[in-house]
Amino acid sequence: MFRCLALLTSFFLLPIANPSFAQDTTSVYFKTGSHKISAYSQSTLEKAFLNLDYTDLIEITFIGYSDSIGNIDSNQRLSERRAKAVSKATKGYLSSKISIITESKGELPRKVDSLSRRVDIVFRYNSLADINEKDTLIIQPDDPRCFFIDSYFEAYSNAKIKVNKKKKIVYLQVLNYPEFSSRKYYYVKNPSQPNAVAQRLNFKLETTGSLWWREKRLTATLPKDSYDKYGLFYLENPPCDGCKEQLFKKDTNVFSGTSINDNHFIMSVTQLKAKLFRPNMLQIRIPKEFMEENESYYAVKELWDGGTKSEKLSWETKRGKKKADYFYSKIKIKGAKSVSIASPQRTSHCRGRGGEPGLGYHGLPCGFKDGSPFPGEFFFTPGIHAFYHNDTVTAFVSVGAGYELKQHELAVNIGINHRLGLYYSGYYHFNFLDFSTMTNRMLDPWQKLGNSKFTTRIKVYAGPEFRSSYNKKYKSFSELNVHLGFSVAWNNGLNYYIQGGMARDLSNRINTGFYPYIQAGIRFRLNL
């Protein structure tokens, strides 16, 4: 019987004398003579507190009870220990602004003793009936004003559906950026009425989340039906006429589609790591607290050749106390310059810009013009080099320009050698091994996505090169070589390389046969 009643979580509205407050209650049940919370009950209790609306919560009271079996005094002490145990178990979820009270009531005779062995948790809220009239706007059906619906708000927020006084509400957690805290956001309070009331959304700055992802975020609540239909809007000049919305008009363009856009909130709590011997596979984990299991998430990779590639993520769970709070996934990062996490988000498309709305990565915002018509990447490379061939070492400085497309690279260089002779060359490289590494990859830690960059790009390449040197005092040459090379490049453009192979002087001025050569240098790559 107890297993069926290990934890009963049921919220209901209690009538109270003071109409300016409201309260909810939930109960935790115990075994006979025990104040220990089982692992199952602890897990379920955590989920209950994660689903609470903390926005207007001002006080929590833990009231302990016992059954009538045994001594009255010992039952009184047992009910006190139970109340303190539950209070301690939930302490990590509560801010210092919430008042905590523990009470012990002792014996509570009931026909079923298992229902008496419990702790009632009473949540006391400020009344939602208190409305600040100065934050209210009355919108008539013929109101000529235009409102800018902020469809990018979703990218920086996390929305959870909760129950407050038997009504479904949206509990918002928003990244604490000045753009959100300083702007006056409104929502439609009565979306089904002809004369709408727009209520300002008042944010609170609170610490939310569990474990390492606890941070100060902006929080607020609003009715679910209003959020689903209209989202949030503000009264500022929009970037273009196509994004103006005139509410309650026939041509109102509220949420006209869905686009896969970067989810900055999810990225703020994403961790990743990569194995040293699996350089092209990235492991990521995201707290379950902020995930929607039925939602689709994507890894969007910015490639070194200038393009982007996305893949849908599949999630798995792991056992263990430290692993159970996360969803895990893997991302192939071969050729990736950076990775972001994206999800489908509602968008209010500019009319006449970007075509029909639909599911696609990065819906075009107002005024945005996308890029280069070339699929690859042009670059400019000054550098310092030295090579050895035919028992001679030659150093030179050069400037170069090239073009890279996927695994192919083509470039020309011109410079001056240490004998003040003219030097020039052209090469083709095929990058048959190309991957990026992260900071501290050797240590293999979990890193936050926002702080983890693909700081090193490693290439192993092969290809032919033609080069020539002209100097009046020294022998010139026109050389063709085939070489194998290894290079390491950083995000700031600095590049070290070493390469070697077999060469042949086409002019027969330094050697009439094939000879080995080796070259190393430092280049600085600037993408154009």
Q: Which helix (H) or strand (E) holds 455?
A: none
Which residue(s) pair with 176 in the sheet? Answer: none
What single-letter amino acid sits at 38?
Answer: S
**pTM score of the predicted model:** 0.60
* CATH 3.30.1540.20 matches 3-126: no
Which residue in 250, 264, 212 sits closest to 449, CA to CA? 264
Rounded to an integer, what distance in angstroms lies between the CA atom of residue 54 and that of residue 223? 15
Q: What string of DSSP letters covers 101-149?
A: EEEEEEE---SSGGGTSEEEEEEEEE-TT---GGGEEEE-TT----EEE
Per DSSP, the three-state class of 265 is: helix
Q: Taking Cα atoms as reference points, which of 227, 230, 256, 258 lies closest to residue 242?
A: 256
pLDDT score recorded for residue 452? 66
Contacts of 93 (CB under 8 A, 6+ apart): 46, 49, 50, 52, 210
Per-domain residue ranges for the chain? 3-126, 133-255, 272-347, 377-527
Residues 357 and 344: beta-carbon distance below 8 Å: no
Amino acid at position 475, single letter: K
- Distance between CA 279 and CA 281 in Å, rounded? 6
Contact of 489 with 522, CB cutoff 8 Å = no
202 CB-near residues (< 8 Å, 6+ apart): 132, 135, 220
Q: What is the pLDDT along the chain (528 residues), one digit of tens a residue?
A: 333 333 333 322 233 334 445 667 778 888 888 888 877 777 767 777 776 666 667 788 899 988 888 888 888 899 999 999 988 888 777 766 678 888 888 887 666 677 788 888 888 876 544 444 456 766 665 665 566 677 778 889 999 888 766 778 889 999 988 778 877 888 887 777 666 678 888 888 888 888 888 899 999 888 888 888 778 877 655 444 544 555 555 455 556 677 888 899 999 999 888 877 777 888 999 999 898 878 899 999 887 767 788 899 999 998 887 888 999 999 988 778 788 899 988 876 544 444 333 333 333 343 334 444 567 788 999 999 999 988 889 999 999 999 988 889 999 999 999 888 899 999 999 998 887 777 656 556 788 876 666 778 889 999 999 999 887 777 788 899 999 999 998 877 899 999 999 999 888 887 888 999 999 999 998 887
- Please report, as a single letter, which amino acid is at residue 290: F
Q: What is the pLDDT of residue 3?
A: 32
Report which secondary-structure segment, H or E, holds 37. Answer: none
pLDDT of residue 95: 66
Report the distance separating Cα 45 and Cα 28, nearest Å: 8
Question: Alpha-carbon distance 270 to 75, whole Å?
Answer: 47
pLDDT of residue 349: 54
pLDDT for 366: 38
Tokens of 88: 């301690």
Compute CA distances 383 → 305, 415, 441, 452, 520, whole Å: 21, 9, 28, 28, 11
CB 220 within 8 A of CB 53: no
> What topology does CATH give the domain 377-527?
Porin (2.40.160)
Identity of residue 437: T
Q: How far apart are CA 175 and CA 231, in angstroms?
A: 17
End-to-end CA distance of the chain: 72
CB atoms within 10 A of CB 181: 12
DSSP string for 152-184: TGGGGEEEEEEEETTEEEEEEEE---HHHHSS-
DSSP letter (8 states) at residue 69:
S
CA distance 293 to 301: 22
**Residue 20 has what pLDDT?**
47
pLDDT of residue 37: 86
Residue 520: both structure tokens together? 């190393």
CA angle 37, 41, 44 (to 5 degrees): 140
The pLDDT score that the predictor gives to residue 143 is 60
Q: Which among 40, 13, 18, 21 is positioned nearest to 29, based on CA atoms? A: 40
